[in-house]
Structure 1
């Protein structure tokens, strides 16, 4: 603490000798480096990436990159021009907070401030890790490996009907593959949406020519086939597993850093961790949301984009910044653009805007007359307006809200 105080100037900002090390070169890590420079931070910044590829954006992996319409999605950032030392192929292996040193595959990195932005890693299907023909979709190398599968118009089995499963199934059908999606729950997106909202989305699979099998569990994967618990055999030249992701925090064992119930880093409202001088941002961290009344763990692009601004503001010593945005994400599946804003709970009241049998519709969740979340299909204006209404906790009129011809901003009390 004495050293940290010495390296901060009279204004409380980090001085020119203050060393910031960022672990993780995905969106959260890259944007932290950029935000620091934008706020005038002059000290050395080191950005460590585990992959050998230059830092890249992930959403195109399940779309343009997967379909061979783009070779990659590298960020258009001049790291040398920013004065950011980019070190690729470096894996973090441990943290020694008493020494303020990060242990890595390239040796120790001393720091004054450390930012953890290691993201999340896909959950594998038990018993299939490393098996030939079994894939996940998280990295550029994953997408490159699957590109050949799609180009060959193979028989594909997707395990998991969540967001990533639906997006991959969409790309596979576009490429001409025969696609079967296997979901253990009774509906797609069971961990995210209630049954009445997921029901019309389940019909999208058949419309696109993909088979959706719900209430089905994988017993084993054999060469050329997936065997289900009921004995059914599905032809499979490739198996893509999309059953979720977990925060990439295993390397922090023994560091003393506080973790949440899902193994993620439990950051405070300013995205500080329980260790002095250590922040966390993006998929690897949860934060307390005053708006939602609970701790949120958000594995989506917008969170990785916004959180670094709060981290950078606190590092440079601006007025204490807290993090509590309206969560947002989108998904492109089966020719539809799906967007979600906010955070709902099963106790919230659900109201429809429009007919789910039509090409576009919206679902709203209310709590004490205030909007807590919206899911829109082909209604971007509803999404844009709802984000503002959720942020301002504006009371809504439950009588006019369901009318899709009335703008959401006009359906207030």
Structure 2
């Protein structure tokens, strides 16, 4: 049972904000301090690559930090920590803690070069892009992942000339695999999609490819992935491996330190592997586990949900649930009216992941089946109109 009186949260995103609420909901009446590197209170980020590119939206969370008794520090960036002294160093001084929650999120990866590269991670980034996306703008997107797919959708609708440079054979090749990626490739027909190309650097005139050719651009947005924001933890002694390593209760090896959200590399008993979520749903739901681990350890609450994320692109809503392994078998589910989905099944015929296209109902069915460890009939699941529960052989 936690007997300290001061909890420090480093990071001002969804995970940090929800941690404040979860701690109070669990009955903690001590001090809570939250450090936000941005100069604005925590806000919702998914709209940044959607409606925020066409109109200014205030997505600040409706949280009264004063009423919660949270000392909210804006514009304060962590620079290091001393676990022996239980203190976090920042650009504005030292901040002590009895328990520490690391929620610093992730930072975009950028390419070499002296040319200006834009990214989309903050509200300020969205403001810059919104002002620049005008009819005729020569926009080059480096990377064809989730965020750039959404930017490409909006930019095309706004009349921009969109070029996409992707090193893989197809968009979303890495997260979804080649079969699904190639099936989605026709969605990109209205943009200049160039797959199998590598960018050597970004110059003032635009990206230069590995073969030396220049892609002249008015605006370059780099979207080739993110890395957990852990530079400030170098020398802390915490275990870092694709993020801050934590167990299924989001605890590090130091009992006073937790990690949550994009920065956490959590152990999943369900998948018997370490998962770096980096999606909104993890940040939204995980803080309750931290609050319970600190204040009600007798409950034994663990955080091991079925992963979920969504994307809106080229007129389609994509919803992915589960965690696929490259060795899993993929089965395409076909509907009678051109609708389709994809299911991944392991060597025990257990449903491990599911991609739904324009069909929230199928996503919900699949999520429930994965949650209960359903073993399915690989032949029957190919029929999109058959509910998943009717083809389950049994649950493990």
The normalised TM-score by structure 2 is 0.95
C-alpha change, 1:233 and 1:355, in structure 2 (3 Å) is farther
Q: 2:294 aligns with which of 306, 311, 315?
A: 315
Shift of 1:224: 3.5
Residues 1:106 and 2:86 aligned together: no
Q: Distance in 1 between matches of 2:215 and 2:294?
A: 53
Superposed CA RMSD in Å reads: 1.6
The CA distance in 2 between the partners of 1:295 and 1:220, in whole Å, is: 33
User: Could you say which residue in structure 1 is the equivalent of 2:18?
Assistant: 31
Could you give the per-residue CA deviations for residues 174-233 of structure 1, whole angstroms, max 9, x where no partner exists? 221110100011111122122111012111111xx2111001112333334333233443
Asked if the contact 2:141/2:164 (under 8 Å) is kept, the reply is yes
Q: Distance in 2 between matches of 1:106 and 1:401?
A: 57
1:280 alignment partner in structure 2: 259
Cα distance in 1 between the residues matched to 2:35 and 2:300:
26
Instruction: For residue 51 of structure 2, give the secondary structure of its aligned residue in structure 1.
Output: coil
Counterpart for residue 89 of structure 1: 75
2:230 is the alignment partner of 1:249: yes
Separation of aligned partners in 1, 2:86 and 2:133: 46
1:339: which partner in 2?
A: 319
**1:235 positional shift:** 2.8
1:405 corresponding residue in structure 2: 385
- Provide the rounded CA distance (Å) in 2 between the counterparts of 1:291 and 1:126: 39
Shift of residue 356, structure 1, vs aligned partner: 11
Match of 1:48 in 2: 35
8 Å CA contact 2:201–2:208 kept in 1: the answer is yes
Q: Distance in 2 between matches of 1:248 and 1:356?
A: 46
Partner of 2:66: 80
Residues 200 and 357 in structure 1, CA contact (< 8 A), matched pair in contact too:
no
Does the residue aligned with 2:384 lie in a helix, a strand or coil?
A: coil
Out of 134, 138, 142, the residue aligned to residue 159 of structure 1 is 142
Q: Is the 8 A contact 1:338 1:375 kept in 2?
A: yes
| Residue number among 269, 273, 277 corresponding to 1:298 in the alignment | 277
- CA separation in 2, counterparts of 1:229 and 1:157? 16
Please give the per-residue CA displacement for 1:114-154, whole angstroms capped at 9, x wherever unaligned. 000000000001224xx33x201101111111111114541
How far apart are the structure 2 equivalents of 1:386 and 1:96?
45
User: Aligned to 1:135, what secondary structure does the other structure show?
Assistant: coil
Name the TM-score, length of structure 1 as normaliser: 0.91
Asked if residue 372 in structure 1 is aligned to residue 358 in structure 2, the reply is no
Where does residue 198 of structure 2 map in the other structure?
A: 217
Q: Provide the residue aligned with 1:185 in structure 2.
A: 168
Contact 1:72 1:140 in 2 (8 A): no
What is the aligned partner in structure 1 of residue 158 from structure 2? 175
Aligned 8 A contact 1:224 1:235 in 2: yes
